[in-house]
Amino acid sequence: MKVLVAVKRAIDPNVKVRVKADGSDVELNGVKMALNPFCEIAVEEAIRLKEKGLASEVVVVTVGSSAAQEQLRTALALGADRALLVETNALLEPLNVAKYLSKVIDQEQPQLILFGKQAIDQENNQVGQMVAQLIGSGQATYASAVNQVDGQWVVEREVDGGSQVVALAMPAVVTCDLRLNQPRYASLPNIMKAKKKSLEIIAADTLGASVKEHARLLSVIPPAVRKAGINVGSVAELVDKLKNVAGVI
């Protein structure tokens, strides 16, 4: 059975972002980019399903600019079999991305579609759920364990009060949380091999998705800066400050 993994090129999680001086967006020129960390977890899970014999092929897909080929190659080096780039330079609004992906899913017919739970740049946490709605399948967000039982996907999810287990008919959408697995590193031989794997580029407008603008970004500002704090010398002094200066205890 085929597993499709949707990934995103996003800012490297260790980069401290800066807001542009004109307040139009954050500065992304010359900034290190990477595979979104939650997408790495999704790719890892797909590869483990293949290693367990539960998946026959792992296809990785992204929607974005030509530069996103770099992240697809990373996924191929980790063990994905082939890659698809839905190429567009348009702003990546979640519903539009979901529509492109659902067209790809129609063509590929996977039994499991894996996502990261959110991208660390826009932090929308929407695309997986939207794809599930568009293709009419069940979803399990924030997955911490994925198993197959009696022709269903049985997924443990991280929820606010603890954990929950749901069973989903196939095909299903699963979005991956931090604790699902520990992604592997790509070895040098695998990075070399990944260069020979298939990476197909699909022009977004050939997919026939009805995309449109949903929102306008008016401005981006840095968050309010906290005023500098003080260091106290002892626990007694700390308690005194909290009681008598801050008044919080």
Partner 1 sequence: MTILVIAEHDNKALAPATLNTVAAAAKIGGDVHVLVAGQGASAVAEAAAKIAGVTKVLSADNAAYAHQLPENVAPLVAELGKGYSHILAAATSNGKNILPRVAAALDVDQISEIISVESADTFKRPIYAGNAIATVQSTAAIKVITVRATGFDPVAAEGGSAAVEAVGAAHDAGISSFVNEELAKSDRPELTAAKIVVSGGRGMQNGDNFKHLYALADKLGAAVGASRAAVDAGFVPNDMQVGQTGKIVAPQLYIAVGISGAIQHLAGMKDSKVIVAINKDEEAPIFQVADYGLVADLFEAIPELEKLV
Nearest to 59 by CA among 2, 123, 121: 2
Q: What is the DSSP letter of 204?
A: G
Q: Does 188 bind partner 1 (CB under 8 A)?
A: no
Segment near partner 1 (CB under 8 A); pick from 45-53, 54-62, 63-71, 131-139 = 131-139
Q: Residue 97: name the closest of 15, 39, 143, 160 by CA.
A: 39
Does 150 bind partner 1 (CB under 8 A)? Our answer is no
Residue 91 touches partner 1, criterion: CB under 8 A: no
Nearest to partner 1 of 188, 224 (CB atom):
224
- From the CB of 201, what's the least distance to partner 1, in Å? 26
State yes or no: residue 177 binds partner 1 (CB under 8 A): yes
230 touching partner 1, by CB under 8 A = yes
> Residue 94, preceding bond cis, omega within 30 degrees?
no
The SS3 call for residue 4 is strand
By beta-carbon proximity to partner 1, the closer residue of 19 and 186 is 19
The reply to whether 226 sits near partner 1 by the rule CB under 8 A is yes
Which of residues 32 and 226 has its CB atom nearest to partner 1 in the complex? 226
Nearest residue to 200 via CA among 59, 102, 77, 84: 84
**Minimal CA–CA distance to 32: which of 49, 11, 52?**
11
Number of residues that bind partner 1 (CB under 8 A): 79
**Closer CB to partner 1, residue 188 or residue 217?**
217
Contact 109, 2 (CB under 8 A): yes
| 74 near partner 1, rule: CB under 8 A | no
Regarding 21 and contact with partner 1 (CB under 8 A), the answer is no
Among the listed ranges 51-59, 72-80, 106-114, 217-225, the one in contact with partner 1 (CB under 8 A) is 217-225
Which H helix or E strand runs over 69?
A: helix 69-78
Distance (Å, rounded) from C-alpha 118 to C-alpha 125?
A: 4
